[in-house]
Amino acid sequence: MSNFKRVINIIPLTSVNLGSTQIFTYLVPLNLHDHLRPGQLVRVPFGGRRLILGLVSSVEMHRLPKEAKGLKEVTELIGATPVLTEKHIALANWIAKYYVTPLGLVVKAMLPKFVKKNKDPQITGYEKFNPDYILTDYQKNAVSEITRALGSPSTILLHGITGSGKTEVYMQVIERVLFAGKQVIILVPEISLTTQAIERFARRFGIERIALLHSKLRDSERLFMWQKIWENEKQIIIGPRSAVFAPVQDLGLIIMDEEHDPSFKQYDQHPKYHAREVAGKLSELWICPLILGDATPSITSYFNVASNIDQASMSRGETGGKSILLTLPHRIMADVGLPKVRVVDMRKELAAKNFSIFSEALKAEMIMKLKQNKQIILFLNRRGSATFIMCRDCAYVSTCEHCQVPLVYHLTTQSLVCHHCARNYDIPTACPACGGARIKYFGIGTEAVEEGLKKFLKEELKDKELPLIVRMDRDSTAVAGAHKQIYDDWTAGRTRILIGTQMISKGWDVSRVGLVGIITADTILHLPDYRSNERTFQMLTQVAGRAGRGSDPGVVVLQTYNPENFAIQAAKLHDYQGFFAREIEVRKKFGYPPFTRLIKLVFSHPDREKALALSERAVNLLRQEGSPGIEIIGPIPSFIMRLRGRFRFQVILKSVANVDFDFYPLLAKLADADIDIDPESLL
Ligand code: ADP
Ligand code: ZN
């Protein structure tokens, strides 16, 4: 007996070089022989004298001959109960492989901080209420299809415009899942995680069954929720992307609302995961459906579901995940039509010597709606930073001669860079198309809109009092309580004009909105990103969906320098299918996702030359070891070339031939790269 020692596998909760093993073997001291289980936390010596946390990944306690040298011993066991289930450990392994991230960092991201005391955040004040709707035929169909899929790892795309009754469908299905004693995860975009959005779920199911996870929770409160979920005392988990890691014990359903929203991708720290992909894996592990609900599904999701349906119909009877596409084509309040969208050509405004931010049409609508006592939203895109150069006279946009994509204006280098082929261009002083001198970078801020608006209204209303105008952006909401104040002013109808970015989220009362003015639809259209059309379409459709609830369909005035663009045209007609059909052709023709996969690598260093050298070294290595099916683009300076004192260069990889190419072994060799798989933006 004493000839053998027991050993165990452990994931150290730290960043381990990707090239080396991520799971380490330790000796088990005698006193722990019968106490170790997968998912438990232990303390282990790691790298020199450091003691760190580790997670027991598996406990086949091998017996090793005693000459197994160099192995260190587990120092102590922290708490008898595991903190991750075996399914979650499997999930962590998958994430680490797919996103090429140290396994220990993934596990760390899945765990709360184990602070000394937990604390109940004590959310109360929701009266229970059951509305007893009679479902529409579409809703009935959706509920029964989803119900049939319960217990299988299906992906269900619920495509329905705002107000078409998707949430009601979720509710009805959730009821069935809860009845079976299982848990539900509801993922929502960061922005719609307001108490208002939670209210409906709380009123239907009772707040005591709901675990709300959001960024404002304290560590102690998060730990409280985490434990309640673990003990299955909370069955409905609502939160942004990280809620996908909720420590469920018996998961029956995952819902992802507004699945196209970019906040579902973590971009600022590792693991750089997309909650949709993780949720897909989760649904496989728990053998339960994943519902993607959206008015404007991402091109990739729609394509995947549509093409899987084709495959499934060819090979029926196979087990495994299937795809289901469900549609809710009408608004519940059938008498409320969709808003009329008026597209205004801003080039004509210029030609008519209107140099204001507002077109004549928008001005006239604003005055009218103020008279009618309606509320107005003026929308600006948050990503409207000055990335491109445009001629204000003829709307010419500087594009790459080789790639046709808009060039990116780099402030730091004062040059134009093509983010697709890395070519550099000088900034033109006159417009290459019309010779005009009014060629400049493009971008309007919320302050400028507010100023312009006040000036216009002062002239228009003469000495009458100005209506309440509220700006909602990062600055105006930075103060504690500001958000609530803006919400209250809006809901009470005090605010007449709201200027902002993607602000108005689910749960805001928009029944009095008579007009949505989109200051410029072009800011995202000219982002040098293959998703520009998609983002433009989604943004316009979602914003337009804010108008026209209540008794009046409302008006949308959409200002653009590109009225003929198909994303804008499709948004005008509320035509998702039409948009999808054109966009998927573009993706296919130019080799973009979902037909290829993209990876962004960023190399940074306090010294510019060193950063460049790192990126060039990586490119050389990739050229030597890469597969012929992989295109390498760069290095080019990153759009934000200097961040926190470090210069940054980026390289884009594009897998052309094989979308399922396993990048892990290749990328693991790039010790200096910051790796982003399926990046949300190429900027
Ligand atoms: P979505 O989630 O697609 O935006 P909702 O589920 O929020 O749509 O439905 C829009 C509105 O219609 C909500 O106020 C909701 O309570 C109501 N509603 C949903 N289904 C029905 C129904 N079958 N009968 C009557 N009202 C309904
Ligand atoms: Zn180019």
Look up the CATH number of the domain holding residue 562.
3.40.50.300
> Measured in angstroms, how far is the CA atom of residue 136 from the centroid of ligand 1?
10
Compute the distance from residue 163 Cα to the ligand 1 centre, in Å.
6
Share of the chain above pLDDT 90, in %: 47
Q: In ligand 1, which atom is closest to the CA atom of 161?
A: 3
- The domain total for the chain is 5
Atom 16 (ligand 1) nearest CA: 168
> Average pLDDT of the chain?
86
> Which DSSP string corresponds to 53-98?
EEEEEEEEEEEEETT--SPPBP-EEE-SS-SS-HHHHHHHHHHHHH
Known binding residues: 391, 394, 400, 403, 418, 421, 431, 434
Going from the Cα of 404 to the center of ligand 2, the distance in angstroms, rounded, reads 7
180 pLDDT exceeds 60? yes
**Beta-carbon neighbours within 5 Å of ion ligand 2:** 400, 402-403, 418, 420-421, 423
Domain interval for residue 610: 596-677
Q: Which of 533, 561, 589 is the last residue of a domain?
A: 589
Distance 164 CA to ligand 1 centre (A): 6
How high is the pLDDT of residue 13?
95
Q: Is the pLDDT of residue 94 over 90?
A: yes
Asked if the model's pLDDT at residue 671 lies above 50, the reply is yes
Task: Residue 512: name the closest of 450, 467, 558, 554 by CA.
Answer: 554
Residue list for the binding site for Zn(2+): 391, 394, 400, 403, 418, 421, 431, 434
Residue 320 and residue 349 in one domain: no
Contact 239, 212 (CB under 8 A): yes
Question: How far does residue 290's CA lie from ligand 1's centre (Å)?
Answer: 21
Asked if 658 and 617 sit in the same domain, the reply is yes
Site to substitute for ligand 1 among 167, 192, 294, 331, most atoms within 8 A of C-beta: 167
pLDDT for residue 585: 93
Ligand 1: does its nearest atom lie under 6 Å from the Cβ of 546?
no
Query: Would residue 334 count as lying in a domain?
Result: no
Instruction: Using the structure block, give the residue that is written with the tokens 């002083």.
Output: 429
- Angle 637-639-643 (CA atoms, 0-180°, nearest 5)? 90
Query: Is any ligand 1 atom within 6 A of the Cβ of residue 164?
Result: yes
Per residue in 287-328, pLDDT (tens digit) is 999 999 999 999 999 999 988 765 544 443 444 568 999 999
Nearest alpha-carbon partner for 332 in 551, 173, 553, 136? 136
One domain, residues 178 and 263 = yes
Please determine, for residue 547, whether its predicted confidence score (pLDDT) is greater than 80. no
**Residue among 326, 332, 505, 546 whose CB has most ligand 1 atoms within 8 A, to mutate:** 332
Within a domain: 562: yes
Is any atom of ligand 1 closer than 6 Å to the C-beta of 172? Answer: no
Same domain membership, residue 509 and residue 361? yes
pLDDT surpassing 60 at residue 142: yes
- 479 neighbors 520 (Cβ within 8 angstroms): no
CATH number, domain at 21?
3.40.1440.60
Extract long-range pairs of 348-356: CB within 8 Å, 24+ residues apart.
350/392, 350/393, 356/452, 356/456
**Quick check: is 37 in a domain?**
yes
Whether 96 and 172 share a structural domain: no
**Residue pLDDT, tens place only, 469-505:** 888 876 666 666 777 788 888 888 899 999 887 666 6
23/69 same-domain check: yes
Q: Are residues 197 and 259 in the same domain?
A: yes
Residue 551 forms part of a structural domain: yes
Same domain, 427 and 536: no
- The answer on 467 and 354 residing in a single domain is yes
> Lowest-pLDDT range, 221-235, 327-341, 596-610, 625-639?
327-341
In terms of domains, do 360 and 415 share one? no
Confidence at 238, pLDDT banded by 50, 70, 90: very high
Looking at the domain assignment, is residue 556 inside a domain?
Answer: yes
For the record, the structure tokens of 396 come out as 């010419």
How far does residue 398's CA lie from ligand 2's centre (Å)?
A: 11
Which of the residue ranges 313-317, 515-519, 633-637 would you say has the lowest mean pLDDT? 313-317
Q: Which residue has the higher pLDDT, 361 or 434?
A: 361
The verdict on 91 and 194 lying in the same domain is no
497 and 581 part of one domain: yes
Final residue of a domain: which of 541, 568, 589? Answer: 589
Radius of gyration (C-alpha) of the chain in whole angstroms: 27
Tokens 């050389």 map to which residue? Answer: 620
